[in-house]
C-alpha cells in the first residue's frame, strides 16, 4: 500500500492533474475545423450517414475521440447514441474516432455490454470509426492540447470549432449550437480562463508536496474569488473541497492532535450543512476501513460532526448510518444499533446496505 500522503496527492491529481501544464493550443474555439481523413468507417448509423472528409456548411458535427480500453469512453456510448438519435433530423452527425487497428475495434464491438446487447448494437445509430495512423488525433487532440479521452469537438454550421469537452457535458452546448443561440465568444473567454486555472494547478501540487497546505488553500480561494465563468468557479470549488480532504488525510498520516484539529476546522466550516458534515464524518469511516491510522480523538471529532448532522436532518437515513458506524468505531454497539435501526426505518436508496450493516451490528451484540 502506498503511504497515505502519496495516496492523497494521487486523489487530488485525479481532479486536477490531467489538465495541468498543457501545451499551447493551435486548435481552439473559433478555429476552422480540420478535414478528417479517417481510414475505417466501421458503423454508419445503419446506412443513414456517409463518410465525411470536409464539413458541409449549415450542418453540425460532433467529432469524438475514444478507445476500446477507455472505461469512460465506453460509459459514454449510450449517451452519444441518444444524442445522435435526438438530433437525427436536425443535420447533426456524430463521428467517434479511435486510433486503434481495425481488428481491435471489430473484436470490441462483438463483446457483450452486460445488458444483453453487443457494443455494435449500442453504437449502431452513429458513426463509429478508427484511424490507426493517428492523423485525425493529431489534427484535433494534439493540436488542441487535449491529452485525455473521451473528448468531443462540436463543429458548427460555419465549419469552425464551437466547443471542446467531455461528451457527457455536451448536450447543452450542442442544443445551443443547433438552434443558433450559442455564444462562442463567451465560451472562448471561459475556456481561456480555464487554461490559466489549469496552469496554476501545478503550483498547488508543489505547495502540497512542500507541506504548505494553507498557502495552497489561499491560492485556490483567491482563484475562486476572481473566477468569471461559472464552469471555472464550479471546477475550482470542487478542487477546494478535494484539497481540504487531501490536507485532512495528510494530517491523519502525521498522527497526533493535528488530525483531530484539522477535522474540527473543516467541520466548523460546514456547521450549518448536514450534507457537508456527513461527508466529512463518512470520510473518516471510509479511511478507517482502508486501514488509515484513525485515533480516538479523531473518531470523537467525527462522531460529534455526525451527531450535529443528525440534529440538522433527523430524517436522513444515510446520516444516521454514518453515525452508527462511528458509534461502532468507539465500541458502543448499543448506540450504533439504535442509530442504525432508525436509519433503516427511514428507508431510501441505501436501504439494503443499511439493513446488512444492522444485521452485522446485531450479530456482534448477540441479538
DSSP letter string, 4-60:
HHHHHHHHHHHHHGGGTTPPPPSS-TTSBPPP---SEEEEETTTTS---SSPPTT-E
Pairwise pLDDT comparison (226 vs 108), residue with the higher score: 108
For residue 222, tell me if it sits in a domain: yes
Judge if 220 and 323 occupy the same domain: no
Judge if 178 and 193 occupy the same domain: no
Q: Rounded CA gap, 358 and 19, in Å? A: 43
pLDDT grade for 221, boundaries at 50, 70 and 90: confident
Mean pLDDT, to the nearest integer, of 192-213? 79
Judge if 37 and 178 occupy the same domain: yes
CATH number at residue 161: 3.40.30.10
Judge if 77 and 122 occupy the same domain: yes
pLDDT per residue over 133-151, tens digit each?
999 999 999 999 888 899 9
CB 308 within 8 A of CB 277: yes
Judge if 126 and 84 occupy the same domain: yes
pLDDT grade for 251, boundaries at 50, 70 and 90: confident
Judge if 215 and 295 occupy the same domain: no
Question: Which of 141, 156, 182 is the endpoint of a domain?
Answer: 182
pLDDT per residue over 311-348, tens digit each?
999 999 999 999 999 999 999 999 999 999 999 999 77
Determine which helix (DSSP H) or strand (DSSP E) holds 244, and give its type and residue range: helix 230-254
For residue 201, tell me if it sits in a domain: yes
Judge if 249 and 284 occupy the same domain: no
Structural domain boundaries, residue 63: 31-182
- Is the pLDDT score of 6 beyond 60? no
CATH number at residue 298: 1.25.40.10
For residue 259, tell me if it sits in a domain: no
Amino acid at each position: 500500500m502506498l503511504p497515505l500522503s502519496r495516496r492523497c496527492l494521487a486523489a487530488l491529481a485525479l481532479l486536477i492533474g490531467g489538465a495541468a501544464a498543457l501545451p499551447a493550443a493551435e486548435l481552439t474555439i473559433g478555429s476552422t475545423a480540420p478535414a478528417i481523413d479517417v481510414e475505417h468507417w466501421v458503423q454508419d448509423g445503419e446506412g443513414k450517414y456517409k463518410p465525411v472528409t470536409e464539413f458541409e456548411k449549415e450542418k453540425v458535427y460532433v467529432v469524438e475521440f475514444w478507445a476500446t480500453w477507455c472505461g469512460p469512453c465506453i460509459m459514454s456510448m449510450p449517451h452519444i447514441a441518444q444524442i445522435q438519435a435526438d438530433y437525427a433530423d436536425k443535420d447533426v452527425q456524430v463521428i467517434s474516432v479511435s486510433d486503434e487497428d481495425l481488428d481491435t475495434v471489430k473484436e470490441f464491438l462483438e463483446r457483450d455490454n452486460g445488458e444483453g446487447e453487443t457494443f455494435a448494437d449500442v453504437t449502431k445509430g452513429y458513426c463509429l470509426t478508427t484511424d490507426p495512423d493517428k492523423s485525425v488525433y493529431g489534427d484535433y487532440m494534439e493540436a488542441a492540447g487535449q491529452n485525455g479521452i473521451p473528448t468531443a469537438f462540436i463543429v458548427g454550421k460555419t465549419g469552425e470549432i464551437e466547443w471542446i469537452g467531455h461528451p457527457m457535458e455536451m448536450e447543452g452546448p450542442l442544443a445551443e449550437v443547433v438552434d443558433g443561440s450559442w455564444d462562442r465568444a463567451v465560451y472562448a473567454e471561459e475556456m481561456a480562463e480555464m487554461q490559466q486555472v489549469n496552469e496554476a494547478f501545478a503550483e498547488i501540487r508543489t505547495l502540497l508536496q512542500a507541506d504548505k497546505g494553507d498557502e495552497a488553500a489561499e491560492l485556490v480561494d483567491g482563484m475562486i474569488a476572481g473566477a468569471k465563468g461559472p464552469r471555472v468557479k464550479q471546477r475550482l470549488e470542487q478542487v477546494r473541497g478535494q484539497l481540504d480532504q487531501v490536507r485532512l488525510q495528510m494530517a491523519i498520516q502525521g498522527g497526533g492532535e493535528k488530525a483531530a484539529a484539522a477535522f474540527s476546522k473543516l467541520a466548523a466550516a460546514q456547521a450549518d450543512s448536514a450534507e457537508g458534515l456527513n461527508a466529512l464524518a463518512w470520510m473518516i469511516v471510509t479511511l478507517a476501513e482502508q486501514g488509515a491510522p484513525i485515533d480516538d480523538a479523531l473518531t470523537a471529532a467525527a462522531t460529534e460532526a455526525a451527531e450535529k448532522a443528525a440534529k440538522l436532518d433527523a430524517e436522513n437515513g444515510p446520516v444516521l448510518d454514518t453515525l452508527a458506524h462511528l458509534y461502532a468505531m468507539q465500541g458502543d454497539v448499543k448506540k450504533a444499533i439504535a442509530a442504525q435501526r432508525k436509519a433503516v426505518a427511514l428507508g431510501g436508496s441505501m436501504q439494503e446496505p443499511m439493513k446488512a450493516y444492522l444485521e452485522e451490528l446485531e450479530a456482534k451484540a448477540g441479538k
